[in-house]
Amino acid sequence: GEVYRVSDEALERMDEYEGNGSLYHRTAVIVTGGGRLLQVQSYVYGHEVHGFPLMAEPWGAPLSDWNEV
């Protein structure tokens, strides 16, 4: 993935776009970047997904091209 530094205004607009609090929930996560641990914000889907099939090629990229999930 990618990490961006954004303004408070941009974050508010992203919250609206992502449906923060309803469709997705913004939460703090720890990722590795540049050889160090970073605490960042990520949008996590907020509903049950059990029973749904995994997509074989999400967003047009074969799973074999993915290094991380």
Distance separating alpha carbons of residues 31 and 27, to the nearest angstrom: 13
Residues 69, 1: contact at Cβ < 8 Å?
no
Q: What is the pLDDT of residue 60?
A: 57
Dig out the tokens for 29 from the structure: 């996560």
pLDDT along the chain (69 residues), means of 10: 90 92 92 90 87 65 52
Say how many Å lie between the first and final Cα of the chain, rounded: 9
Q: What is the pLDDT of residue 69?
A: 43
